[in-house]
């Protein structure tokens, strides 16, 4: 048989999540902190909209990149006045379309790292080369300059950051914007966690009007409205990029889900009460897990200002983060994701997507595990 020309490694977070679920199904007491999805119900208005749409038999195709009334609602909610708005089945296909349209074989894409697992694979699937740029805090011009070449087409900017919980503030965004302009790069921004910023508010790259002509900005209802399984995302892009992405999406996906569109319209048209409350819940969880993990010797946590991930340096306990996670799952039934999935070995990611009581229990188990940990070397 001839070899495949393109393959992608499966999502590490999804396969770990599956492993943890299988263990739980076999009767083990597992606290699964791998999956990055909100564990609370979506807004009632969205549920009602789906029921009404179903009753009205709204089950046919909708326009390839979204119905006009939803696009209007997205514009009103986001303040995206310039550029074209596209709707698709979550942030992922919009990111895939953006990357595939901007970068191809021989091109490079800069990737501030640690970064979301799907970025490097999506860039590779497009035939392009991901170039990780390891972030200090904050990202520096020197670090970006080391990564850029005359083949670089774009830079992916995730804010708030999965997996570190960092939030990029205006000076860092300005630096990225200026860098993109100076090197004539597209900015592919992923702001799916924008509603989960616990202190200091959120600044979108869209606020930098001077880069809108090169900005493809992606967001979705997955996290903000607990609608991950309904697959509904939205993006804004300058007309030429939007046109290329529309073509891609019309062939690859056909159109967004007609029922999810109605749910998204209902939740986006409402005020911010739901997402404000959600942020409150996750802020309390963040405080709880930070306090619990902070007491554990030899673990160091990054300050978590946004998203719902705690980024933990475990290298003083075990240099092999995958081994750390495997042993933790075996010994204590706590599932975390190894940092190598995000291009950063020596760390683990804890998703605080469970109730506070489960998080307190997970911290206690982690404490016991670390205190009794013996490396193979001793
Ligand atoms: N972008 C980031 C940074 C994510 O963490 C995720 C999901 O975990 C996604 C995109 C995917 O979002 P969606 O469910 O809207 O495709």
Helix intervals (H) in the chain = 12-25, 44-55, 68-78, 91-102, 118-125, 141-147, 170-182, 221-224, 239-252, 258-269, 273-294, 321-332, 356-371
Spacing of C-alpha 220 from chain mean position: 10
Ligand 1 centroid vs 91 CA: distance in angstroms? 6
Of all protein residues, the one whose alpha carbon is nearest to atom 7 of ligand 1 is 36
CB 121 within 8 A of CB 9: yes
What percentage of the chain's residues is helix, strand, coil (to nearest 5)? 45, 15, 40
Ligand 1 centroid vs 192 CA: distance in angstroms? 6
DSSP label of 10? P
User: Domains in the chain and their CATH numbers?
Assistant: 12-41+273-370 (3.90.1150.10), 45-269 (3.40.640.10)
Ligand 1 centroid vs 163 CA: distance in angstroms? 11
What pLDDT was estimated at residue 16?
76
Ligand 1 centroid vs 219 CA: distance in angstroms? 9
pLDDT of 12 > 80? The answer is no
Those residues with Cβ within 8 angstroms of residue 99's Cβ, 6 or more apart along the chain or in another chain:
109, 122, 123, 126, 128, 154, 156, 188
CA–CA dist 212, 237 (Å, integer): 8
What's the rounded mean pLDDT across residues 329-333? 94
Q: If pLDDT is split at 50, 70 and 90, which confidence band does 5 have?
A: confident
CA–CA dist 206, 173 (Å, integer): 10
Query: Which one of 42, 116, 120, 191 would you pick to mutate in the ligand 1 pocket, going by the greatest count of ligand atoms within 8 A of its CB?
Result: 116
The pTM of the full predicted model, rounded to 2 decimals, is: 0.96
Nearest residue to 366 (alpha-carbon basis) of 307, 303, 318: 318
What pLDDT was estimated at residue 15?
73
Please list every protein residue whose CB sits less than 6 Å from any atom of ligand 1: 36, 90-92, 116, 158, 162, 190, 192, 220, 222, 228, 233
């Amino acid at each position: 048989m001839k070899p495949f020309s393109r393959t992608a490694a499966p999502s590490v977070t999804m396969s770990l999540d599956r492993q943890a679920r299988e263990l739980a199904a076999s009767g083990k007491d597992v606290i699964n902190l791998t999956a990055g999805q909100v564990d609370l119900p979506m807004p009632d208005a969205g549920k009602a909209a789906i029921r009404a749409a179903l009753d009205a038999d709204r089950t046919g195709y909708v326009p390839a990149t979204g119905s006009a009334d939803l696009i209007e609602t997205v514009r009103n909610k986001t303040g995206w006045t310039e550029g074209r708005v596209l709707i698709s089945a979550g942030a992922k296909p919009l990111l895939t379309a953006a990357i595939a349209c901007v970068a191809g074989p021989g091109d490079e894409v800069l990737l501030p790292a640690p970064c979301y697992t799907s970025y490097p694979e999506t860039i590779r699937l497009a035939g392009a080369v991901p170039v990780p740029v390891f972030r200090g805090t904050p990202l520096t011009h020197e670090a970006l300059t080391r990564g850029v070449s005359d083949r670089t087409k774009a830079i992916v900017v995730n804010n708030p950051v999965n997996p570190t919980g960092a939030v990029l503030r205006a000076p860092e965004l300005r630096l990225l914007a200026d860098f993109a302009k100076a090197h004539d790069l597209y900015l592919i921004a992923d702001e799916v966690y924008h509603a989960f910023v616990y202190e200091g508010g959120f600044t979108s790259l869209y606020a930098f009007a001077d880069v809108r002509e090169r900005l493809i900005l992606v967001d979705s209802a997955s996290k903000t409205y607990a609608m991950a399984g309904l697959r509904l995302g939205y993006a804004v892009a300058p007309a030429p990029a939007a046109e290329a992405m529309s073509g891609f999406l019309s062939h690859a996906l056909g159109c967004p889900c007609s029922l999810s569109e109605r749910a998204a319209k209902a939740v986006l048209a409402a005020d911010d009460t739901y997402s404000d409350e959600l942020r409150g819940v996750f802020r309390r969880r963040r405080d709880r897990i930070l306090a619990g993990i902070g007491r554990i010797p030899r673990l160091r946590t990054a300050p978590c200002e946004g998203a719902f991930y705690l980024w933990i340096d475990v290298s003083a306990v075990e240099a092999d983060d995958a081994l750390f996670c495997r042993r933790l799952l075996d010994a204590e039934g706590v599932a975390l994701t190894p940092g190598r999935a995000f291009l950063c070995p020596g760390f683990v990611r804890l998703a605080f997507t469970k109730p506070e009581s489960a998080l307190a229990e997970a911290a206690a188990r982690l404490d016991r595990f670390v205190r009794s940990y013996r490396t193979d070397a001793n």
